[in-house]
A and B are shown apart, each in its own frame.
Chain A
């Protein structure tokens, strides 16, 4: 039956936002991992938990890098602040309920995000790399200089995390931790998904694509960048808070340059601008790290470095193309297996 032009146009406008079959597969697999782990590999919960909060952290960077074109080498500033905030809130009994503490920690990180967003408005990618790196270094040094509050180089000890919602106690196997992180990741993913497919999200793509033109159709470029940077800091803060809550510990390492750099690596592996890049990248990165570390405990960074060089050399024009290709291939295969499903929207780097 022929659709009217208006219906067709509305349908096409909503294409990007439509749930695709592979997305269901992805989240069902995530759900399945909860039971699979319980039955077969209880010791895998630790690494799965790390994957979950790293995925959320990478998602936060994807929001600014993939959607607004802001590159950062200091995203650990927000992650670390979230981690210390959560640890301190628990230690001093300010906010004991973990979910509420998570939100508060995220909000604290977003205040820092808002305050520093004005530093990344102008300037080239190089300027932004240096400015964000500088902010993270400053945060680390501040934490180092107030040991009476942060524990300094020894880290913040003696953190006890209360049961989630007063009901679910963190267990020593990490089962509760993993389910908790996964649920937080899923909820925040849904929120991010909603936002990037809103008019606001579309305007970010416009700003990223051509800020000059965006301003000349009435888009307030700076205000949009400040908004997404602040939101991204919230996400990073929540990710850091998840780390602190599941490990009942926070140390200066949460602010490290290595953490910010690893995060870029995660997005290079997973791709940017389609939300799943950080999630897939985090999974591949952690599994690879774990696998290589088991093979050659001393030299795992050598292999990670080699993989990075290979990925970049494989001829990707820009970040995101490679896994975009993988995602596209998987989607085609899926559609062949299950014909008649919804048409696919834009994979990263392939446009529409």
Chain B
């Protein structure tokens, strides 16, 4: 299988602590890959390294075979790498309509236009409406994002990443904090993501992970611990030990 996203010996130090230590991940094209691990294992740090929010202390990141280790975050997006955030990072003063429009304009290369007025590009408008419809956000698309219910904001998080039309999508705990009765909507959305998009999912909810993933990597204390198919990982006694909170040395 061709590899969509790969890391080679990725290391990130914060002060003297190695938050991510020698992580080599291979995510195949079209995969549904999950990255799991206890709190503080360094999962979000890995995402931040992959997307360019943080620079690695050492190691390399390859996107579609090309070295993007030194590439700025926004340029990686243009190369087809999009993400969502564990804690909503939205434009609270804008509407979902404008928010998704920003991502689409940017992708079409129209985002730096100084003269054309917003709303006068039918191609952008049509795609906004299509995406918001797909994410059940049509009825709230004219409201201020800051006023939306939390579940809708979570959906907008994903819609915004999809609007970048990524080849590789990084989902950082998409269902985090969503009330039980709104959860199914997020899960259904994640399950319905286009098949040609490679997905790396970070998640605590094991039901979701095992329902979704065809491959699972386990990160513990910044180190890649187990990497394999879901049933292998589920059977692995060391993973059980970690998730039951037992010491590995015992």
Contact = CB atoms under 8 A, between A and B. Distances in A.
Given A10-B120, A206-B102, A216-B73, A199 B97 contact: no
A199 B118 contact: yes
B214 interface: no
Nearest to A203: B111
Nearest to B103: A217
A17 B160 CA distance: 23
B140 to A, nearest CB: 12
Instruction: Specify which of A12, A17, A216 lies most central, judged by the most chain B CB atoms within 10 Å of its CB.
Output: A216
Contacts of B83: 216
A352 interface: yes
A16 B93 CA distance: 12
A126 interface: no
Nearest to A12: B142
B76 to A, nearest CB: 9
B74 interface: yes
B144 A352 contact: yes
Given A9-B141, A198-B113, A212-B89, A217 B118 contact: no
B116 interface: yes
A194 B115 contact: yes
Contacts, number: 150
A202 B163 contact: no
A216 B51 CA distance: 8
12 contacts: A6-B129, A12-B97, A12-B119, A16-B118, A198-B113, A200-B113, A201-B118, A216-B73, A216-B77, A216-B89, A219-B111, A224-B112
Interface in A188-235: 194-195, 197-203, 205-206, 209-210, 212-221, 223-224
User: Which secondary structure characterizes the binding site on chain A?
Assistant: helix
What's the interface size class on B, roughly?
35 or more
B173 to A, nearest CB: 16
A123 interface: no
Nearest to B120: A14
Given A5-B138, A9-B128, A14-B120, 17 more contacts: A12-B119, A13-B97, A16-B118, A17-B119, A200-B112, A202-B102, A205-B93, A213-B160, A214-B102, A215-B53, A216-B51, A216-B53, A216-B85, A218-B78, A220-B112, A351-B93, A352-B144
A206 to B, nearest CB: 5
Contacts of A14: 117-120
Nearest to B95: A352
Interface string B103-133: 1011100111111111110100110110000
Contacts of A195: 114-115
Interface string A1-37: 0000110011111111100000000000000000000
B208 interface: no
Contact of A210 (B82, B91, B101, B141): B91
Nearest to A207: B91
A346 B97 CA distance: 14
Given A5-B138, A13-B101, A206-B91, A217 B119 contact: no
B98 interface: yes
B125 A6 contact: yes
A331 B28 CA distance: 57
B51 A203 contact: no
Contact of A220 (B74, B95, B102, B138): B74
Interface in B49-80: 51, 53, 72-74, 77-78
Contacts of A10: 119-120, 122, 125
B177 interface: no
B228 interface: no
Contacts of A206: 91, 94, 99, 102
B118 A197 contact: yes
B146 interface: yes
Contacts of B163: 217
Given A6-B126, A194-B115, A218 B164 contact: yes
A351 B144 contact: yes
A14 B98 CA distance: 10
B114 A200 contact: yes
Contact of A198 (B74, B99, B117, B141): B117
Interface in B149-199: 160-161, 163-164
Nearest to B73: A215
A187 B116 CA distance: 18
B206 to A, nearest CB: 27
B205 interface: no
B118 A213 contact: no
A352 B102 CA distance: 16
Given A10-B120, A13-B119, A210-B90, A217 B77 contact: yes
